[in-house]
Amino acid sequence: MEETRQREGLLYGNAVQKITEILGVQPEEIKEIEMLKKGMTNRSVLFSCKGERYIMRMPGEGTSCLINRKEEFEVYSVIRGKGICDEICYIDPEGGYKLTKYITNARTCDPGNMMEVLACIRRLRGVHEQKLTVGHTFDVFGKILYYESLRNGGDSCYPDYEETKKKIWELKDYIEAQPKEWGLAHMDAVSDNFLLYENGNGQEEICLIDWEYAAMQDVHIDIAMFVVYSMYGRDDIDRIIDFYFEGKCDQKTRRKIYAYIAVCGLLWSNWCEYKRQNGVEFGEYALWQYRYAKEYYQIWKGTCENEN
C-alpha cells in the first residue's frame, strides 16, 4: 500500500511538472487536480488552468514496451482537424505524454445500451470510410509473439496455452487469403474509447479517443476489438456485426470476423499477462480474452465445416 502511494505521488509530481512546461504556467496556476481512474494502458490527471479544463495522459506501467510513441504521433497528425477524436493540445512523440481539452458532460459508450452501441458502431464505420492512411501496420500475429516474448521465457499462466496458440496459428493463412478493407484501424475501438456528448447546438456528437495502437490493417478487425472488450456472447456479437454492415454482412465476412475475435483474444490475453508481470491485474477481462481465443477458433472452424 505504501509503495502504491509513493508511486501515485511520483506520478502526480511528474504530471504537474510536465503541465507547467507545456502550458508555460506556474504550479500554483494548476488547480482542481484529480487523478482519474487508471486506464488499461495509461494514467490520467484532470485539472484546471486559467479557466480551461484539461486531461493529461501519462504512460502506465510497462507502456514503453507496448506503444510506439512516434507511430502514435503520426496517427494524431493524420486525424487532427477531421472531427474524429478529442482536441489534442500537445503530444510528446518520445515520452508519451498527451494533453487534451476536457469535454464537459461526456460519457463513454455503455456496451449494454444497444442504441448507444448502434450509434458508436455507425460512427466507427464512418471513420473507416474516410480511408485515412499512415506509414505503419499492425501485424497481429507478430504482436502476439512480441507480447509473449515480454514474459522473458516464463510460461503462460494457462496450462493449455501452447495448444491454444497452435490452433490460433491455423487461422494465419486463412486470414491472409481473405479480402480486406485496408485502412487506418483504431485497433482499440472499445466502448470506453467512444465519448458521447452534446455539442453547442444541442446535438449529440461521438468522438473516438486513444489512438495509440492505431495502424494500417483490415478495418473489420475493429469490430472484433469492440466485442471482445465488451465481453459479449455470440448473439450480441452477431448483432454488432449486423450494426456495422447494416444487416448486409455476407457469411464469408462474418466468418473472417469470427477468426479475428479468436486472434484478438490471444493477442490481449498475452497483453494482460505482460501487464500482470508489471503489477496490473485485469481479472475477469483477462480470462475472457483467453476464452475468446479458444471458443471462437471452434466457432470459426464450425462455420468452415458447415460451408463445406
Full DSSP string of 175-241: HHHS---EEEE-S---GGGEEEEE-TTS-EEEEE---TT-EEEETTHHHHHHHHHHT--HHHHHHHH
Give the three cell numbers for residue 266. 490471444
* pLDDT, average across residues 281-294: 92
What would the pLDDT profile of 12-64 be if each residue is shown by its tens digit? 667 788 899 999 999 889 998 888 765 556 788 899 999 999 999 887 665 66
Q: Residue 183: what pLDDT?
A: 98
Distance between CA atoms of residues 255 and 307, nearest Å: 10
SS3 assignment, position 151: coil
Amino acid at 238: D
Amino acid at 280: V
Domains in the chain (CATH in brackets) are: 2-101 (3.30.200.20), 107-307 (3.90.1200.10)
What would the pLDDT profile of 170-187 be if each residue is shown by its tens digit? 999 999 999 999 999 999
Mean pLDDT across the chain = 90
* pLDDT, average across residues 281-285: 85
User: Which residue do the cell numbers 503489477 mark?
Assistant: 279
Model pTM?
Answer: 0.90
User: Which residue do the cell numbers 470459426 mark?
Assistant: 300
Residue 138 has pLDDT above 90, yes or no: yes
Q: Residue 85: what pLDDT?
A: 94
Helix (H) or strand (E) holding 70: helix 69-79
